[in-house]
């Protein structure tokens, strides 16, 4: 029997599925959920091994996560993924495109680690260090990673407090999922995939983000010429926390444009 991820369904309107980032769970969206529920039927999903979702005993890789999420997605939906969730969402859009009407990635890169093609990504050594430290003190390592996510934001203290309050709300994440998630960030490159997606795509960034540096946006835009991008000037890695009202405004405008608004 397959273990299906936990999903909380609420709201009314067109379907919108939400995918959180590494180390977190669907509770990260709580501050904007009441507004989203005015426009959409929300499928708030915990990735395998995070929050209230269990995890299998096999390899924790992108294919496993995508297959797990695909099983619980409605037949027609919008899809939004933050950080690691953006990678998962991009691959889902590639493999299950008939289900997904529009894609939104938030503070996410199709290639998180610096390469010759993407020179402004994260250092591979930094991710290696996090993977090594997970075995020694995974709670401390997780908090350190959350701290990096809020760096640069003018609301850093508030954002970090919200992340800390949320992260262990449903227990501790699976170590298998934590390590596997970092390895996905370390190894996956979906730049070509992103450029070939058939549905409308919106990419949202924070100008002060240190995990997805703003210098990488131009390179992504060069490849993903059919997508749109928005930069939140006062945000780091979590613009939906630091500039939530404007975030909702831009998201709704993109998703419900044309005949649906």
pLDDT tier at 163 (50, 70, 90 boundaries)? confident
pLDDT tens digit sequence for 74-126: 999 999 999 999 999 999 999 987 899 999 999 999 999 989 888 888 888 87
| Structural domain includes residue 251 | yes
| Higher-scoring residue by pLDDT: 207, 1 | 207
CATH code of the domain covering residue 186:
3.40.50.1820
Residues that are catalytic: 83, 209, 237
* pLDDT of res. 260: 42
Sole residue written with tokens 């993924």? 81
- Count of domains for the chain: 1
Indicate the burial class of 169 (C-beta count within 10 angstroms; 0-12, 13-18, 19 or more). Answer: middle
Range among 127-131, 200-204, 237-241 rated most confident: 200-204
Residues belonging to the chain = 261
Establish if 203 belongs to a structural domain.
yes
The answer to whether position 1 is within a domain reads: no
Instruction: State phi, psi for 179 to the nearest 5 degrees.
Output: -65, -45
The token duo for 145 is: 């990673």
Selected residue with higher pLDDT from 242 and 184: 184
Residue 132 lies in a domain: yes
As a 3-state breakdown, the chain gives helix, strand, coil percent values, each rounded to 5, of 45, 15, 40
Give this prediction's pTM: 0.92
Q: Which residues of 65-87 are buried (b: 16+ CB within 10 A; e: fewer)?
A: bbebbeeebeeebbbbbbbbbbb
Q: 231 exposed, middle or buried (CB, 10 Å; 0-12, 13-18, 19+)?
A: middle
Q: Is 49 left (phi over 0), alpha (psi -120 to 50) or beta?
A: left
The secondary structure of 195-249, three-state, reads HCCCCCEEEEEECCCCCCCCHHHHHHHHHCCCCEEEEECCCCCCHHHHCHHHHHH
2 in a domain, yes or no? no
Angstrom distance (rounded) from CA 231 to CA 138: 32
Please give the residue range of the domain that contains residue 240.
7-260
Task: Determine the pLDDT at residue 243.
Answer: 93
What pLDDT is stored for residue 55 in this prediction? 94
């Amino acid at each position: 029997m397959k273990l299906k991820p936990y999903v909380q369904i609420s709201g009314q309107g067109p379907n919108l599925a939400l995918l959180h980032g590494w180390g977190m769970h669907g509770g990260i969206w709580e501050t904007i959920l009441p507004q989203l529920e005015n426009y959409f039927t929300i499928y708030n999903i915990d990735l395998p091994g995070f929050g209230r979702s269990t995890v299998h005993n096999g390899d924790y890789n992108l294919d496993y996560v995508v297959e797990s999420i695909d099983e619980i997605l409605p037949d027609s939906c919008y899809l939004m993924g933050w950080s690691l969730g953006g990678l998962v969402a991009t691959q889902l859009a590639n493999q299950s495109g008939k289900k997904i009407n529009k894609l939104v990635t938030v503070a996410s890169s199709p290639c998180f680690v610096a390469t010759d093609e993407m020179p402004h990504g994260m250092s591979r050594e930094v991710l290696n260090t996090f993977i090594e430290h997970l075995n020694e003190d995974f709670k401390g390592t997780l908090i350190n990673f959350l701290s990096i996510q809020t760096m640069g934001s003018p609301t850093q203290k508030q954002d970090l407090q919200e992340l800390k309050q949320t992260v262990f709300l449903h227990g501790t994440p699976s170590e298998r999922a934590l390590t596997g998630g970092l390895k996905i960030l370390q190894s996956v490159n979906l730049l070509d995939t992103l450029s070939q997606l058939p549905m409308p795509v919106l990419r949202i960034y924070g100008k002060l983000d240190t995990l997805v540096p703003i210098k990488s946006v131009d390179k992504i835009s060069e490849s993903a010429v059919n997508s749109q991008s928005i930069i939140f000037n006062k945000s780091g890695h979590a613009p939906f926390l630091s500039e939530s009202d404007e975030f909702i405004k831009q998201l709704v405008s993109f998703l419900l444009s044309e005949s649906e608004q």
